[in-house]
Amino acid sequence: MNYQQLTEAERITLNTSMFKAYDIRTKSEHVSKELSIRLLEAIARYYHEILSVDTIVLGRDARLAAPRLMEEALEIFPTFGLDVIVNPLQSSTCQFYFSCMQHPSAGGIMFTASHNPGEYIGLKLVAPPLQALALGAGPKGGITAIRDFYAAGSNKPSTKTRGRVYIRRYLDQFIDYSRSLAGVHETTLKGVPIMVDFLSGAAGTEVAEALIRSGADLTVRNLIPDGTFPAGEPNPIALESLRPTTELMKKGDWAFGFAFDGDGDRMDLMDRHGVQVPPSFNLSILIPEVRSYFESVHAQGYWGSAPFNPQLFYDVKANPLSIVLQAKAGMGVHIIRNGHSFIKEALRKNLDDQYVLASEESAHYYMNFPYDLNDLSKGFASTENTLFFALLTARMYSQYPEKYEQAMKLQHSIHRRREWPCHFFDDKHLKPVVSEVERIFADRGLTVFKEMEDGSSLDATLMRKGLPLKIDESSDLEGSWLQVAQRISRSEEGIARWEVASSTKEGLDEAVGLIMAVTDRYVERGEAKYI
């Protein structure tokens, strides 16, 4: 029996909705011991039979449900003949990815639910060499195949050889690697006052230690990992969670600040007033340093005789002004759909064409990272390392604060409502809502884009007036324009999200009002709520 053969009642009983587009994620209360064992056995079978790996790297963040799942994995995986390399302590997802880079022939599983509230748990899965698995993406369909094994049940070991468990921690190596690549040394940040809020997530140790070792005058908040997340939802976008820190920054004298989510793969940057510096603008300032590194890669012959022509992917929600800056900084710019697994896979597949960098406005940063800083023949891993980006950002901000002031002036020169979510209690409402919003803006003359440049789906709706789909260094943005981005979340249940940017306040207010007029109806009927 596979997933398609299950009845709706069986799917509910087995909680098959936990198999999301890019990972596995659900409320902890919906994963009984029986179901967690069933899930881990399905995963073990996939790694053993489909991926043919003999080793799996395990990591976990601070979530309360993570230790139980990791302990069960340590019991189950060896029975399938799999060796397990595990760090029993909580760590960020990015440190976990770095651990996988030390074992490129191994699979990997991170127990985390990222930025979701504390009652959630999940698994991020990678195949060798550090290839993100998703629903329909990966050998034999990736998570789709795992879901079929899970639906079938009875996934028993086919080998009598028992694997072994090895303890490995890569914290020091991770910090050294990230500091070296970012060009940050013992005195680089000497005396620079930096505020960091970890929201009780798992990135505190590595980020705080790296910044302090680099000379920063660091103020930390919510440093201790705590799966109850006492500060609130571990998401920098959750304003109530971050508000105490932003209010404190308004009264203090910090140069800038950072905020990280529960598993540390989101890095929000704040100016000295506690106002978010959008990732797309931050990236435009980092590009010359990243470009310089990859120019050295090119000089060593990595791309053969091809001329140096680095490329990046930008998020559908990125401020058009920032895209122009990115292009002027020496990168080819290309729109891409949301989704960490999708973006990393796109970077991996297009590395030969010099696609090296990407970001999302949700504060995710991606790059093709060298496995070995001293030996490029080992290749690159398309992954996330927010420690590297935090260190590089700290160096650039401390050296060139005027560039960030200019970026914020540009950001403030337009009008933006940062992405906001609406939770619909029944998924059946999602498509009608986004379809209605699309019709409203199309009737008002906005051009609707649903495809990337290569013709594949954006998995979102981007609506623009006064702007082309392809923005580059020659694009003229002096006139009146409006941009509306909407999407259905693939990692959360019942969530639709919107972001609006406009050259005028009137355009912003009207666009936000039109969207809210649609979603308000559902909220007033008790079918949805704003979160």
Q: Taking each helix axis from N to C terminus, what angle separates 430-443 and 505-524, rounded to the nearest 10 degrees?
A: 150
CA distance 458 to 455: 9
Backbone angles phi, psi at 170, to 5 degrees: -125, 25
CA distance 113 to 30: 14
Tokens 């910044």 sit at which residue? 211
CA–CA distances in Å: residue 122 to residues 212, 240, 267, 336? 31, 24, 20, 25
Residue type, 482: L
Residue type, 392: L
Coil, helix or strand at residue 183 = coil
From the number of C-beta atoms within 10 Å of its C-beta (0-12, 13-18, 19+), residue 219 rates as middle
Tokens 């799942």 sit at which residue? 69
Contact indicator for 50, 140 with CB cutoff of 8 Å: yes
CA–CA distances in Å: residue 375 to residues 144, 178, 189, 300, 379? 36, 16, 28, 10, 8
For CA atoms 281, 258, 341, 311, give the dihedral sign. positive
Strand ranges for 136-216 from DSSP E: 165-167, 193-197
Is residue 377 flagged as an active site residue? Answer: no
Cis peptide before 129 (omega within 30 of 0): yes
Closest CA to 382 of 344, 436, 330, 421: 344
Token reading at 198: 């970890």
From the list 28, 92, 114, 178, the catalytic residue is: 114
Rg (CA), the chain: 23
Paired sense of beta strands 311-315 and 332-336, if any: parallel
Q: What is the DSSP letter of 48?
A: I
**Catalytic residue numbers?**
114
